[in-house]
């Protein structure tokens, strides 16, 4: 069980960069959207990540006000 605030180093998982699926752009964009949705809802580490101002601006300017409304072409801004 993971505990918050512990002093242990984070677990580093190896990247499977030899797998052809690693280079699947649609899968990468899907994962990016999943992560952005989590970040947009949580905001716990907002002061630690320079991506947040851009992400929140893109979400706020979207038609839905949620990550799913962000134009995928704009995700390259950061």
In a domain, 65, yes or no: yes
In a domain, 51, yes or no: yes
pLDDT at 4: 66
In a domain, 33, yes or no: no
User: Is residue 1 very low, low, confident or very high in pLDDT (cuts 50, 70, 90)?
Assistant: low
* Model pTM score: 0.59
In a domain, 57, yes or no: yes
In a domain, 53, yes or no: yes
In a domain, 2, yes or no: no
Its domain, for residue 56, covers 46-71
What distance in Å separates the CA atoms of residue 49 and residue 43, rounded to the nearest whole number?
Answer: 10
Cα 72 to the chain's mean position, in Å?
13
pLDDT at 18: 96
Number of separate domains in the chain? 1
In a domain, 56, yes or no: yes
**DSSP E strand stretches across the chain:** none
In a domain, 12, yes or no: no
CA distance to 33, 61, 67, 70, 72, per residue, from 30 (Å): 5, 20, 11, 12, 10
Residue pLDDT, tens place only, 3-55: 666 788 888 889 999 999 999 988 888 888 888 888 888 878 778 878 778 88
């Amino acid at each position: 069980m993971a505990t918050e605030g512990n002093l242990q180093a984070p677990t580093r998982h190896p990247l499977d960069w030899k797998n052809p699926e690693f280079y699947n752009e649609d899968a990468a964009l899907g994962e990016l959207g999943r992560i952005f949705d989590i970040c947009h809802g949580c905001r716990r580490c907002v002061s630690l990540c320079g991506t947040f101002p851009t992400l929140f601006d893109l979400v706020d300017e979207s038609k839905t006000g949620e990550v799913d409304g962000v134009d995928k072409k704009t995700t390259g801004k950061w």
